[in-house]
Structure 1
Amino acid sequence: MTVSRAEHRRRTSRRVRLRRTIVATVAVVLITGGVAAFALTRTASPTPVAEPTTSSEPTPSPTPTPTPLSPAEKLLATTTDPKACAVSFVGDGIALEPQLQTEDVRYDELPLPRADGRVFAGWYPTAAEAASLNAAERINGADLVTCTDRERTLYAAWTTPDANAAEDTALPILMYHQFTRNPDGEDNWLRGNYAYIGDFDAQMAHIQDGKFYLPTWDEVSAFIDGALFLPKRSVVITDDDADSTWLEMAAPIVDGRNLLTTSFVITSARTEPTPNRFVLQRSHTHDMHRAGANGKGRMVNDDAATIAADLEQSAQILGAKEVVAYPFGHYNDTTKEGVRRAGFELGRGIEPGYVRIGTDKLALPVVRIDYGMTVDDLRAKIG
C-alpha cells in the first residue's frame, strides 16, 4: 500500500508527540523520586490512590461496671467511725436490714422477731450453733460486739410453742442492795441488806463459770409473752438504790466478769452516768422512794398522773424506760396505771418467786439476796 507524503507527515508528527509525552512523564517521576508502573494509552486517565490515614489518639477502653455494694457495705459507708460494725441477720423467715453496732460495746437493741406458730430462740454466731440452740454461744445485749473487717453475721434460731412450754424456764431476778467488806456484816437495822463482797464475787463467778444466759429486759418481756425461748440456766442480776457501796465494791466485779447487771437508781439522788459498760441504769423512781401520807411509799399514795410524771422525769435523766423497781416493793392498781401512762412495760416488786411465761409484767417477783447467803445458797436458788 502506497502512503502519500501528507499521510506520512501526519504519522511522523504523532510519533514525535508521543515520544515527548513519555520523556516528560519519566522526568517527573525521576525528579520526585517516585517509583511507578503504568501503561500508556491514548484514552486512559490515571486513577488517584488514597493515602492511608493514621490517628495519634488511643482507642478508649470500655468503662468497667462497678460491683454493687452489699447492704452492710452501704451501711458502713454512712459512718466514719473506725469501730463501726455492720451486723447482718440471716435465718429461716428472717428479712431484716443490717444494724450498725460498735465494737467493744454491748449489742444494742438486737431485733426479736416474732412469727405465728413459732418461738424465737435467739441469735448465734454460726448456723450450726443456732440449729443446736447452744445457750453458751447465744448472743444478746449482754455481749460485747466483735467483728471481722467491720462486719458480723448473726444466725436466727426458732423452736415450737410446745418445746418452749416443755422447757418450763423459771427466770430468777436476783435483788441485791448494799455491800460490805466485813465478813461479819454490818451492825445496823439494815444488816440483812448488806451482802459480803467476798460472797458476791463468788456468786458472780458461779454465774460466769456456769455460762448462765443473761437476758435483757426486752427479752424478759418477750419471754413472758411466750414469744421468746429462754434456756433454764438464765438469770437477771439487779441492785436497788445505786448505793455508794454498790458503785465502789460490786460494780467493778460485774465489769471485770462481763456480767450484765441492772442498777435501779433514785434519780433525785443520782444523775451520773453508768459506772461501767456492763451496768444498765434503770428507774427506782425520781422522788418516790419515801413514805406517803399513810406511811407506805408514795407509789401507793399518789395518783396515776403524779406517778407517771415522776417516772417521766426519771426516764429523761436515765435515757431509758423499760422497767421500774417499786420503792419498798409497794404498788397497787393505781401504781400500775401510772407506770403504763409513763410508757414503762415492766415493774419489779419484792415478792419472792420466779418469772414464767404469763407472769404479770407489772408485778415481777424476785430472788432476794441477804447477808450471809453464800454461793451454795445461790446455787440452790438458781441452779
Structure 2
Amino acid sequence: MTSSRGERVRARRAVYRARRLWVFGSLAAVIVLAAGGVFTAMALAQSAGSGPTAQAEPAASEPATPIPEETPLTPAQTLLASTTDPQACAVQFTGDAIAQDPVLQTQGALYSGLPIPRAEGKVFAGWYASDADAAALTAAARVNGSDAVSCVDRQVTLHGAWTTPDVNAAEDAGIPILMYHQFTANPEGENNSLKLNYAYIGDFDAQMAYIASSGFYLPTWDELSAFIDGALFLPEHSVIVTDDDAHQTWLELAAPVVEKYKVMTTSFVITKWRTEGTPNPYVLQRSHTQDMHEAGENGKGRMVNWTADQIAADLEQSAQILGAREVVAYPFGHYNDTTKQGVAQAGFEMGRTIEQGYVRIGTDKLALPCIRINYGMTVDDLAGLIG
C-alpha cells in the first residue's frame, strides 16, 4: 500500500515536470520566432533600401524659378552689334508709307546717302528731327547730307514727310547752283586775264555767313536728281555751293570759311592735278574730269573732241580717285550729245554746265545750269540772285 502510494506520488511529480518543461519550451519558441521575424523584417527593409531597383520617395522641393525669355534685339540694335566702331550710330526711319531699314552713320560726320522714298501719287518732302516738324514741313528742322549726325545712346530716329504733286508744282522752286573759281585776299582783285574768276575772300565770307544765317536748305546731289524727277520737294529757299578746279586758293582761303559756317559745298576736282582728300567734312569732292580740262584740236575742250568711250574712260579714272560719281562739271562748260553719252556710259547721272539759270523740275540732268559768281559781287548781289 505504502509502496503504491509512493509510486503514484512520483508519477504525478514526473508529469508536472514534463508539463512545465513543455510550457517553457513553447514560450522560448515563441520568443525565438518573434525575434526572428523582427530581424527578418529589418533585413528586408535594409535590402530594399540598398538594392539597385529601389526608389526613394521624392523629397519635397521648392518650385523652380522660371528663366526669363531673352528679349530679341531690335533691327537698330542688331545693326549696332555688327560693328565695333564706337562712333557708329543707327539711324531709324519712320512715317507714313515709310518702310526703310535702319542704316549706320558716323556720329559727328555729315549724313551720307539718306534714302529718298518714292510712292505713287506722292512727293517725298524730306526727313525731319521730329514728327511735329515733319507734319509742318519745318525747313529749319529738315535733315539731310549737309547736317552732322547727332545721336543719343548711338541711335536716332528721322521722321519722313510727304506732300502732293500739286503743292510741289505750286512751290515752283528754282534751285541755284553757285559757281566759284579762284579766291584772293586782295580787295582790289588780281590783275590778270582771269580777274573775274577771283572772288575776294571778304565777300565770300560774308556770302557764306548770309547763307548759313538765312535758313537756306542745302540739297545734296541725289536730292537734286529726285527733285528734277518731281519725286522730291525742295523749298524755294535752297542753294547749292560749288567751286571749280580745286585751286590752291580754294584750299587755303575758301575751304576754311565753309567749315567755319558749316555750309556744305562741292569742289569739282581735276584729278590729274590733285588726288589728296577733302580739306574738311563740309567739302564734297566731285569730278572735273581726269584729263579733259585741256583744249582739243578745234580749240574747245577735249570733252567735245573725244569719243564717248574716251570720255567714259577718263571719267571712270576720275571716279576711282574720288570715290564718287553723281555729277561732273564740264571743263570750260563745253558739252554735246557725245559728251552726254560718255558721261552716262561712265555711270554719272548729272553734268553741270556754265550756262546761267536755275534748276527746275524737268531740267536736263546732263545740262544743269548755274549762277556764276564773279569778282566784285557782294553779299547783296548774292541775295538778289538767290533770295
- Give the TM-score normalised by the residue count of structure 1: 0.88
Q: Select which of 74, 78, 83 maps to 2:87.
A: 83
How far off its partner does 1:64 sit?
2.4
Question: What are the within-5 Å matches in structure 2 for residues 73-222 of structure 1?
Answer: 73-222=77-226
Deviations 1:120-159 (A, max 9, x none): 0001111111100001110111111111101111111000
Q: Using the TM superposition, give the Cα deviation of residue 63 of structure 1 relative to its aligned residue in structure 2, in angstroms.
A: 2.9
Structure 2 residue aligned with 1:355: 359
Give distance in 2, aligned partners of 1:359 and 1:178. 28
Out of 265, 284, 288, the residue aligned to residue 284 of structure 1 is: 288
Q: Equivalents in 2 of 1:367, 1:13: separation in Å? A: 142
Bigger radius of gyration:
2
Change (3 A) 1:10 1:282: farther
**1:20–1:372 distance in 2 versus 1, CA, 3 Å:** same
CA distance in 2: counterparts of 1:58 and 1:226, whole angstroms: 69
Cα distance in structure 1, aligned partners of 2:302 and 2:372: 22
2:305 aligned to which of 283, 293, 301: 301
User: Given the alignment, which residue of 340, 344, 362 partners 1:336?
Assistant: 340
- Counterpart secondary structure, 2:143: coil
Tell me the residue number matched to 2:73: 69
Rounded to whole Å, the distance in 1 between the matches of 2:113 and 2:84 is: 21
Q: Secondary structure at the match of 1:123?
A: strand
Of residues 358-367 and 301-310 in structure 1, the stretch that sits farther from structure 2 once superposed is 301-310
Write the distance in 2 (CA, Å) between the matches of 1:14 and 1:164: 127
Paired AA for residue 202 in structure 1: A
CA–CA separation in structure 2 for the residues paired with 1:23 and 1:376 = 130
Higher mean Cα deviation, 61-70 or 95-104?
Answer: 61-70
- The percentage of aligned residue pairs carrying the same residue is 65
User: Per-residue deviation at 1:300?
Assistant: 1.0
Report the CA distance between 1:324 and its aligned residue: 0.4
Q: Which runs of 5+ in 1 are unaligned?
A: 1-5, 30-44
Partner Cα distance (1:373, 1:11) in 2: 150
1:378 corresponds to 2:356: no
Aligned positions, number: 365
Letter aligned with residue 286 of structure 2: R
After TM superposition, give the deviation of residue 94 of structure 1 in Å.
1.1
Rounded to whole Å, the distance in 1 between the matches of 2:86 and 2:327 is: 33
Aligned-partner Cα distance in 2 for 1:94–1:15: 107
What are structure 2's unaligned runs of at least 5 residues?
A: 1-14, 50-55
Instruction: Indicate the RMSD between aligned Cα atoms, in angstroms.
Output: 3.0
Which amino acid letter does the alignment assign opposite residue 331 of structure 1?
Answer: Y
| Paired amino acid for 1:253 | V
Instruction: Determine if the alignment matches structure 1 residue 255 to structure 2 residue 251.
Output: no
The 5-angstrom pairing of residues 45-56 of structure 1 reads none
* 1:22 Cα offset (Å): 7.2
Distance 1:19 1:207, change over 3 A: same
Describe the shift of the 1:148–1:14 C-alpha distance in structure 2 as closer, same or farther (beyond 3 A). farther
Q: Following TM superposition, by how much is the alpha carbon of 1:55 offset from its aligned partner in structure 2, in angstroms?
A: 6.4
What's the CA shift string for 1:277-298, capped at 9, x where partnerless? 1111101011111111111111
* 3-state SS of paired residue (2:256): helix
Alpha-carbon distance, 1:89 to partner: 0.7
Q: 1 CA distance for matches of 2:184 and 2:263?
A: 20
Map 1:25-36 → 2, pairs under 5 A: none
Distance verdict in 2 for CA 1:12–1:91, change over 3 Å? farther
Of 226, 231, 235, which residue of structure 2 is paired with 1:227?
231
Name the CA shift for 1:69/1:10 in 2 (closer, same or farther; >3 Å). Answer: farther
Tell me, in whole angstroms, the C-alpha distance in 2 between the residues paired with 1:264 and 1:246: 11
